[in-house]
Amino acid sequence: MTSIWPEIEHLLLHVEKPARYIGLERGAIQPPHDPRNVAWLLTYPDAYEVGFPNQGLQILYEIINELPIGEAERAYAPWIDLEKTMREKRIPLFSVDTHRPANEFDILAFNLSSELVYTNLLNCIDLAGAPLRSVERGNDDPLIAAGGHCTYNPEPLADFVDFFVLGDGEEVVSELTYVIHQWKTSESTHPSRDFLLRELSKIEGVYVPQMYNLSRDQNGFQLLEPKYDDVPKLVEKRTITSLEDWPYPKNQLVPITEVVHDRLNVEVFRGCTRGCRFCQAGMITRPVRERSVDQVRTMVSEGLRRTGYDQVALTSLSTADYSHIEKAVAAVGDDPLSCGQTGVSLPSLRVDAFTVGIAATLQGGKRSGLTFAPEAGTWRMRQVINKLITEEDLYGAVESAFSQGWRRVKLYFLIGLPTETDEDTLGIADLAKNCVEIGKRYTKQASVTVSVGGFVPKPFTPFQWFGQNTIEELQRKINLLKDATSRSRGVQLKWHDPKATLIEGVLSRGDRALSPLIEEVWRSGGIFQEWSEHFDLDRWLSSMDKLNLSVEDYAYRHRDKSEPLPWDHLDAGLYKDFLWQEWRDALEEVGLEDCRWTPCYDCGACTGYGLDHVVGSTSPPVGGSQGTWQDLTKGSEVPQLLTIRKKSETV
Amino acid sequence: MALRLRSTKTGKIRFASHRDIAKVWERTLRVSRVPLVYSQGFSPRPKISYGLALPTGAESDCEYIDIQVDDSDRELIIVGDICSSLNSNLPPGIKINGASIMNGKFPSLQQTVTSCVWDITVNEDDTKVDSWIDRINSANEIVLRRERKGKEIVDDIKPQVYLVRKNYERIDGRVTLQAELGTQPRSLRPSELLRSLEPYLSEYKLRRKKQIVEEGARRLDPLEVAGATPMRSLVGAL
């Protein structure tokens, strides 16, 4: 029932952007603080302006607050200046909705979207006043939970988090609330926290690390065995069968102060079967589940009415693939409330002229930059990663953009992909230069920004066995590109720091032995590591040294088929054989079609669960096969081989 | 039709910046379905103009905003309805407490307002504050040094200091000054006043009490300037 606002209030005069801590957003809920209810503190372990728009968090916030026995509030990681004074004045982490201290909640549930926030998660547990490790917490401490894409390899956080939730949260969050409510209200009969954790582990999609015994095989690889018969050997992800049943958020929050993606977001479908082999999101969110265009229309018009936004984003992993894209776009324009003033954005453009056509209609007269993601510089490389777009697709898209008034185009690429040669890397520069040439036919100011990121292999993707490039190798490739583009006017090169890429890689596929590493880095002051001004590689490397952990082991070496993976006890819906076959096909540069419009190749996502894709149209969208005129028969003459450095198996 | 609204900014919302509040108004006007007039061009913006900026963290009883309301296809615009609908959609702490219809052409708030009255609560005790006030009031000149675009600017702010005195009422047990500070050609900020004379006073809480328009010998609320038709009956209803 308490609010610590009076204690916080006077600190806010002396911190940056104090409006991040006041709540009051349109749509925010002030729950009743009924002690019999199960109270969730949904925490985004990063700055408010980054965490606020997270749709997953907002969806759960509404669903829990609709439950008669549930209440949910939100918290974000306090920025460094406020955190410092909070520690000095012994002020705990608090909710922004009612400024209730974190330790009054039953559950602190974290959204994990990036590996580099792991130290912030520890910082938030500590700021909440709870013991850091799961085994140290008792009945009076909050439960620590986590969901989001990173939970597909939860092991690095296994010592700190009581339970992880895999997959869609819409249904499971209520099941969790009921089980916790039962335990909470009958505390006298089942007092042990262990009992509760065991009950939670029986819920489908819930992984409770403490319910497993850890051992190591003769090669030192981690093996996990359930402690009890009723704890699942394999934890399967949750999948909602229809998005139509979950029109959330119904009441999207509108911030008072500046945040990223500040607009109405309407999810038009979930899942993606393009099959890009580097893309974890596309693998773990299968199958494709589209929303009907009627529901999209209602969500847009209701959303605009309630929020007062004049910007709508139709979100998904590849919105141009939505069966009813044109109808959905038209619906926004036709909405009586928008009075022609509402802008629509498609956060992920497909690389083809058709998509640019839609973008042109959407933006009306406006021409703020356009972004495409060809991901790799040569057709060979794109076959390896199964991003099957041809040079002609890209040039068509770019020509269409420049001819319709755009002057600036941004291209996203990955470097450090499996089998990548310098020719592939330099192909990026060639593509960019050719795009500028095309642009110059239409405007003298044509410019192309190339943004390159180092590739990090992720669990449950065909590339999960690949040893990522070293910092030096990524830097060398960046330098190659710098040289190749330095004299071309119109090409701007930007790149991500390969040092951060390395640590993402270590955490992304690490095992439980990394829990002490995360703690060590946090204790030495390493928070907000995804902010380049606060990231410090030396802190990570010296902590790894101290704990006898090797970068080579965790990130750089290739893994082979027989090696147990730290996430083998989890199931993202994909057969391991399918992923392995995809890995082999990648090395042989064989592409794979999108199964929305071609026969099923049985990846496991549908067949294993009796699910099916929910799409409005059984034929591919306009613009040729997959909308990209792709030709799957094209391949390179000389297959590139990957050298496996350890425990080699013939490839 | 042009509408001038006066509103509060109190409580938690005081930590939202002037820019934040502008966006809040724009969205609240849309949620409340107030028909707005938009500018022409590629990025049409609603025609809204905001008054003098309030420092982030300060409270206020008197923030003003001028809004162009589109009445082209409406017979009747009921100002009271607009205000009560806005009040139910504005965030807690922002509440409309006065409105005027503005007739014909009128100068912007930034141009018209000549001074603001502030309650400044400070951390120092009575003795310190009393002597500080005496010295402010007896000084012939008060020199303020501030930096602008890397250059130091030295101003005599005395002509901008219309009034400084101690309030009888305390806030949170702390001494509170009342100050009326000029806004033309540039607003003198309360924080600048506090650090214009050593030893400086430090601000604990700040609240804008009034904005004043001097028209000849008359001191008016911006809702009552020439050309404004105040909706006096609203005040009770809001």
Domain layout of chain B by residue ranges: 2-110+221-237, 112-219
Give the integer Cα–Cα distance in Å for B11 and A164.
Answer: 38
Query: Which residues between 627 and 646 in chain A have a beta carbon less than 8 angstroms from any beta carbon of chain B?
Result: none
pLDDT tens-digit profile of B101-148? 999 999 999 999 999 999 999 999 999 999 999 999 999 999 998 888
Average pLDDT, rounded, for chain A? 90
Q: What is the mean pLDDT of residues A372-391?
A: 93
Residue A413 is predicted with a pLDDT of 97
Residue A590 is predicted with a pLDDT of 87
Question: DSSP readout, A203-264?
Answer: STTEE-GGGEEEEE-TT--EEEEESSTTS-SSEEPB--S-GGG----SS--B-SS--TT-SE
Nearest-by-CA chain B residue for A96: B12
Q: Which residues of B touch A13 (CB under 8 A)?
A: 57, 203
Distance in Å, alpha carbon of B25 to nearest chain A alpha carbon: 10
Q: How many CA atoms lie within 13 A of A479 on its CB side?
A: 6
Q: What is the mean pLDDT of residues A401-415?
A: 92
Question: What is the number of helices (H) and of strands (E) in chain B?
Answer: 6, 12
Same domain, A40 and A120: yes
Give the integer Cα–Cα distance in Å for A201 and A196.
Answer: 9
Query: Which residues between 21 and 50 in chain A have a beta carbon less than 8 angstroms from any beta carbon of chain B?
Result: 21-26
pLDDT tens-digit profile of A633-646? 443 333 333 433 33
Cβ partners under 8 Å of residue A294, min gap 6: none
Is residue B36 pLDDT above 80, yes or no?
yes
Distance in Å, alpha carbon of B30 to nearest chain A alpha carbon: 5
B235 vs A436, which has greater pLDDT?
A436
Please give the distance of CA B26 from its chain centroid, rounded to a whole number: 18
Residue B134 has a CB neighbour count (10 Å cut-off) of 11
Which pair of structure tokens corresponds to residue A327? 């109808």
Residue A630 pLDDT level (bands cut at 50, 70, 90): very low
**CATH code (residue A209):** 3.40.50.280
Report percent pLDDT > 90 for chain A.
Answer: 76
* Residue A305 touches chain B, beta carbons under 8 Å: yes
In a domain, A248, yes or no: no
Residue A365 pLDDT level (bands cut at 50, 70, 90): low
Residue A337 is predicted with a pLDDT of 61
* Residue A81 touches chain B, beta carbons under 8 Å: no
Q: Which residues of B touch A22 (CB under 8 A)?
A: 12-13, 15-16
Provide φ and ψ at A468, rounded to 5°.
-75, 160
Same domain, A205 and A268: no
Give the integer Cα–Cα distance in Å for A177 and A67.
Answer: 9
From the list B38, B43, B91, the residue facing A24 with the nearest CB is: B91
- Pseudo-torsion of CA B174, B175, B176, B182, nearest 10°? -130
A642 vs A274, which has greater pLDDT?
A274
Which pair of structure tokens corresponds to residue A238? 């949750």
Quick check: B27 and A308 CB within 8 A? Answer: yes
Quick check: B93 and A24 CB within 8 A? Answer: yes
Is residue A68 pLDDT above 80, yes or no?
yes
Amino acid identity at A41? L
pLDDT tens-digit profile of A340-363? 567 788 877 788 777 777 777 776
Same domain, A355 and A306: yes
Which pair of structure tokens corresponds to residue A227? 């402690």
Residue A646 is predicted with a pLDDT of 34
Size of interface A-B (CB pairs under 8 A): 64
Residue A94 pLDDT level (bands cut at 50, 70, 90): very high
Same domain, A215 and A297: no
Q: Which residues of A touch B30 (CB under 8 A)?
A: 304, 308-310, 337
Q: Which residues of A touch B42 (CB under 8 A)?
A: 364-366
Give the integer Cα–Cα distance in Å for A48 and A528.
Answer: 12
Residue A505 is predicted with a pLDDT of 98
In a domain, A123, yes or no: yes
Residue A354 is predicted with a pLDDT of 72
Is residue A545 pLDDT above 90, yes or no?
yes
Q: What is the mean pLDDT of residues A141-159?
A: 97
Residue A625 is predicted with a pLDDT of 40
Residue A616 is predicted with a pLDDT of 74
In a domain, A163, yes or no: yes
Domain B112-219 CATH class label: alpha beta
Question: DSSP readout, A560-576?
Answer: -TTSPPTTTTEE-S--H
Is residue B196 pLDDT above 50, yes or no?
yes
Helix (H) or strand (E) holding A173: helix A172-185
pLDDT tens-digit profile of B43-52? 788 999 999 9
The answer to whether A394 and A409 have CB atoms below 8 angstroms apart is no
Which pair of structure tokens corresponds to residue B163? 């009034």
Residue owning tokens 């030096």: A472
Quick check: B31 and A22 CB within 8 A? Answer: no
The answer to whether A380 and A640 have CB atoms below 8 angstroms apart is yes
Same domain, A208 and A324: no
A389 vs A357, which has greater pLDDT?
A389
Q: Which residues of B touch A12 (CB under 8 A)?
A: 15, 57
Q: Print the domain residue range for A93.
A: 5-230
Q: Which of B12, B33, B54 is best to mutate for the A interface (most A CBs within 10 A)?
A: B12
Residue A649 is predicted with a pLDDT of 37
Give the integer Cα–Cα distance in Å for A79 and A76.
Answer: 9
* Residue A341 touches chain B, beta carbons under 8 Å: yes
Residue B158 pLDDT level (bands cut at 50, 70, 90): very high
The answer to whether A536 and A136 have CB atoms below 8 angstroms apart is no
Same domain, A301 and A177: no
Amino acid identity at A270? R
From the list A22, A26, A365, the residue facing B12 with the nearest CB is: A22
Residue A47 is predicted with a pLDDT of 98
* Residue A78 touches chain B, beta carbons under 8 Å: no
Strands B176-182 and B115-122: antiparallel
Quick check: A22 and B57 CB within 8 A? Answer: no
Query: Which residues between 391 and 410 in chain A have a beta carbon less than 8 angstroms from any beta carbon of chain B?
Result: none
The answer to whether B136 and B161 have CB atoms below 8 angstroms apart is yes
Give the integer Cα–Cα distance in Å for A243 and A611.
Answer: 13
Nearest-by-CA chain A residue for B26: A308
Give the integer Cα–Cα distance in Å for A479 and A492.
Answer: 13
Residue A620 pLDDT level (bands cut at 50, 70, 90): low
Q: Which of A132, A114, A239 is nearest to A606 (CA)?
A: A239
Q: Which of B166, B185, B188, B184 is nearest to B175 (CA)?
A: B166
Residue A134 is predicted with a pLDDT of 97
A483 vs A642, which has greater pLDDT?
A483
- Pseudo-torsion of CA A623, A627, A629, A632, nearest 10°? -160
Length of chain B: 238
B73 vs A200, which has greater pLDDT?
A200
A127 vs A192, which has greater pLDDT?
A127
Q: Which of A9, A13, A259, A368 is best to mutate for the B interface (most B CBs within 10 A)?
A: A13
The answer to whether A455 and A469 have CB atoms below 8 angstroms apart is yes
Give the integer Cα–Cα distance in Å for A306 and B186.
Answer: 39
DSSP state of A511: -
Helix, strand, coil percentages, rounded to 5, for chain B: 25, 35, 40
Residue A338 is predicted with a pLDDT of 58
From the list A10, A257, A309, the residue facing B16 with the nearest CB is: A257
Strands A163-165 and A143-147: parallel
Quick check: A18 and B26 CB within 8 A? Answer: no
In a domain, A543, yes or no: no
Is residue B187 pLDDT above 90, yes or no?
yes
Q: Is it true that B2-110+221-237 and B112-219 share their CATH fold?
A: yes
In a domain, A551, yes or no: no
Q: Which residues of A touch B204 (CB under 8 A)?
A: 10
Same domain, A64 and A198: yes
Give the integer Cα–Cα distance in Å for A616 and A324.
Answer: 7
ipTM: 0.93
pLDDT tens-digit profile of A34-50? 999 999 999 999 999 99
Q: What is the mean pLDDT of residues A555-582?
A: 95
Residue A637 is predicted with a pLDDT of 34
Give the integer Cα–Cα distance in Å for B29 and B36.
Answer: 8
| Fold exhibited by the domain B2-110+221-237 | Alpha-Beta Plaits (3.30.70)
Nearest-by-CA chain A residue for B40: A341
DSSP state of A555: I
Q: Which residues of B touch A23 (CB under 8 A)?
A: 12
Residue A636 is predicted with a pLDDT of 34
Same domain, A218 and A307: no
**CATH code (residue A300):** 3.80.30.20
Residue A171 is predicted with a pLDDT of 98
In a domain, A244, yes or no: no
Strand, helix or coil at B214? strand
Give chain A's domain count: 2
Give the integer Cα–Cα distance in Å for B72 and B75.
Answer: 8
In a domain, A447, yes or no: yes
Quick check: A308 and B26 CB within 8 A? Answer: yes
pLDDT tens-digit profile of B56-110? 999 999 999 999 999 887 666 788 999 999 999 999 999 999 999 999 999 999 9
State which of A180, A209, A230 marks the end of a domain: A230
Q: Which residues of A touch B28 (CB under 8 A)?
A: 308
Classify residue B126 by burial, with Cβ atoms within 10 Å: 0-12, 13-18, 19+.
exposed
Is residue B162 pLDDT above 80, yes or no?
yes
pLDDT tens-digit profile of A599-612? 788 888 887 677 77
* Residue A4 touches chain B, beta carbons under 8 Å: no
Cβ partners under 8 Å of residue A29, min gap 6: A61, A65, A72, A73, A97
In a domain, A469, yes or no: yes
